[in-house]
Structure 1
Amino acid sequence: MSSDTLLARLHTFHPKLIDLSLGRTERLLAALGSPHLKLPPVLHVAGTNGKGSTVAHLRAMLEAGGKRVQTYTSPHLVRFHERIRLSGGLISEARLVDILTRCEAVNAGQPITFFEITTVAGFLAFAEDEADYCIVEVGLGGRYDSTNVLERKLATLITPIGLDHQNFLGDSLAGIAGEKAGIIRPGTPAFSAAQAPEALAVIEAEAAGADAPLKVAGRDWKAAADGDGWTFADAAGELRLPVPALAGAHQIGNAALALAALRSLGIAPSQDRIEAALKTVTWPARLQPIIRGPLLDLLATGTRLWLDGGHNPHAAEALAQALAGRKLDLVVGMLEGKDAAEYLRLMAPVTASVKTVPIDGEACHDPENLAELARRVGLKAQAFPEVQSALSACSADEVLICGSLYLAGQVLNASGMIPE
C-alpha cells in the first residue's frame, strides 16, 4: 500500500480538518508507548512567519557542526515526506508506510485529525531514529497545537507574530501571541524574535509565569545588515557573517534568532561552520528562484521568475521590503479566509501588474474577485484560469508567483523542483 493511499484514509477519521486539542494526540501517543518522551533534545519553534526558515537555519548550523538533526515541519509543498526529516534525510516511502500503518492500527478508527495522527507518526519515526537534536515546528498556534504535547524541550523559539488564522487564534496580536507563547515550558530557555509591543508583553508574561529565562531580539542580541554581510552581537561577542542564502533582508532576523538560541545554549558550531551553513541553507518557496522547467519557458528570455509561499499581510510586508525598488508582475492565488486585500495593498509598491489565478483542488479566492481587490488598491489586474496563461501574459523583467504555499507546491511540482 502506498503512503498516498494511507494518508487519504487518515483524512476520514475526523469531520474537521482543524480541531485544536491535545487529548486525541496524547491518547494515541500513550497507546504507542509514548514515543514523544524518547526524542533527542527538542527545539520547538512557533510564530506566524519565519518558522520554516528558522528551522532551516537551525538545522543548517547544527549539521554544519557535525550533528545529526531531525525536523518536523508543515505543510508539505509537493510530497508529504517533506514534513518528516530523519537524521539521514527525508523519510523514505517504506518507512513512512510502516509508521502510518502502525499509527492507524493502534488508533483503531477513533476520531483524530489528519495533523494529529501524522504528528504522532512523526514522533514515532523520530523515537526510532538516532539523532542529536530534534527541531519541531508548530503547525497552527501553539498552546493547543498537537506538537505541544512535548514537555521535555531544550528550548522554545518564537518567530515574528502577525495576524493570521484569526478564525482559530483570535483577531488581536495579544491573543495570537498568547497562543504562540503556550509552547513555553517551566525553566526552559525561550527566545523571541523582535515583536510588536503588545505581542512581546504577552510573551514576557508567559515566560515570567513559567520562570523560563527569555531572551529577545534587540535586547539580548542584535543583528543588522552591514555592507555585503551582516553583524550579530550578543553577550558572547560579535560576529561578522555572510548574508543567508535565503533571499530577503528578513532572513537575517530568522538566522539571528536561530544563532542566538544555539549560542546561548552552548551548542553553536564554530564561526567558519556558521558561515558555511548560512551560505548553503535552503528552504523552498521563500523568495525562491525558479531556474528550470516549462513555466520558465512561458516568459521572455532573460525574465527572472520567483516563487514565494507567504500568505498573510505580515509576510507581504517582509516580501515588499525584500523587493523594494523593483516592479514585478505578480501571479497571485490565495486561499479563502486570507486577507487578500491587505496582502495586495502591502505588495503594491513593488507591483507592475497582478494576474490572479485559482489554486487547483483548494478552496480559494475567486480569481475575478481577487483581481477586483487588486484594482481597489490601484493595481492593474486581470484574472486567468491557470498559472500558465497568467505567465504568458506577463511582460515585466521579473515575475513573482505568490500568495499561497499550496500554489507554491503546485508550481514546484510543475517545474520539476521537488524539495529534497
Structure 2
Amino acid sequence: MTSTKSETVIANAQIALADRIIDRGWIAIADGRISGFGEADTPSAGEDAEGDLIMPGMIELHTDHLESHYVPRPKVFWNPIAAVVSYDGQLATSGITTVLDSLRVGREDGGEEIDGRAGLLAGAISAARDGNLLRAEHFLHLRCEVPMVSVVEEARELVGRPEVRLMSLMDHTPGQRQFRDEVKLRDYYRGKGGGMTDAELDVLFARRVADQQAYAAKNMRDIVTLAHDYAIPLASHDDTTEENVGDAVRDRVSVAEFPTTFEAAQGLHKAGICILMGAPNVVRGGSHSGNIAAVDLAREGLLDILSSDYVPSSLLMAALQLPQQVQTIDLATAIRTVTKTPAEAVGLADRGEIAIGKRADLIRVHVAHSVPVVRSVWREGRRVA
C-alpha cells in the first residue's frame, strides 16, 4: 500500500471484520471509504489506537429515544430541531453512525403527548440535516399503530419521503402481544402517565380495545399495501402467537421486532425473517415487560439484530457482552448484530462492515471494568466525535 495525502491510517488496533477479529492490525481510509486493512504493523505512519477496538459504526433500526428529548417532561415541548441535535449527539457518542428514527404514526384522543408529532419531528430532522448539524446519518422508521383511526392518513403524508427505510406494524392493544398481562400494562402506564388511576386506565383500555376491533384489520391491510407500493421493508412487532407469525409471513415482513415468546421466534426464524431484540434486554438480563429474554433466543440461534430501543449506549454494551453470555457467539458474530445484519435488512449495502470500498463509518472503542467507551467516531472518513 502506498500512502497518499488524503489517506488516514489507524494503527495498533484490534480490527473487527465481519467474520473474524484481527488482534493487532491497521486500517486505511481514503475519500470516505475503506482503502485497506491488514495485520501487524502498518506500511505507513498512522494514528496509534493503543490497542483499542476499531469496528464499523453501528446501525440502529428502532429507537424512539428522540421523543424524550422533544418532550423531556410531561407537557414540556423542547425546540424540535434542538431536540434532534441533542439526540443525535448522544447517538454518535454511543457509536451509532446510522439511525432509523422511530416516529409514532397514529394518534388518539387523550393519548400520549408525543402522538401526532411524526410530521413535525420528520421536518425537524430534515432541517437539522440541511443545516449540517448532525453527526450520524438519519433515516426514518414509521411506527404505525394500526388500531388508530388516523394511522393510514398520517402514513400517507410521510411515506413518500426518500429517507423512509422501514415501516412497522404496531398494535399495543391491552390483552395481546407485549401486553397480554394487564397487570404489567397497568404498571407501565402508571409509570409513564404520572399516576393514572385504575378508573382512568379502565376507560383508556376499553377505548383501545374498541378501536382495535373497529379499525385494526383494515388499517393493517392498507399499511402493508402502502409499504409494498413504495418498496419499503416491513417489520412486525411483539409477535406472540402462531397466528401473529402467519400474519408476518403473509405480509412479507423482513424484520420481526421483539417477539415475546420462544414459539413465535422459532416460527419467524423458520420463515427466514430476521429477529430483532432489545439491547437493554441483554444488558439487564431480561425483558422489562416479563417476556422472553434476548439471551435465551441467542442461545438457540434465534437472534439476528440488536436495537438500543430506549438506551443508546446499550447497543455497544450488549454486543460486547453477548460472547460472554452465549458460548456459541464469538465477538465478530456479536458485532454483526449491530452492524452488517441491520444494514442489510434495510438495503444499506454500502456500510456495516470493514471491507475495501465500504463506507468508512468507524468507531474506536476502549473497554475498562467491563464498560465500553467510544473514543472516536468517523462517518465517511470524517471524524465527527
Band the TM-score falls in, shorter-chain normalisation: under 0.3
Q: Which has the higher strand share?
A: 2
Q: Which has the higher helix share?
A: 1
TM-score, L = length of structure 2: 0.26
**Structure of greater relative contact order (alpha carbons < 8 Å, 6+ residues apart):** 2
TM-score, L = length of structure 1: 0.25
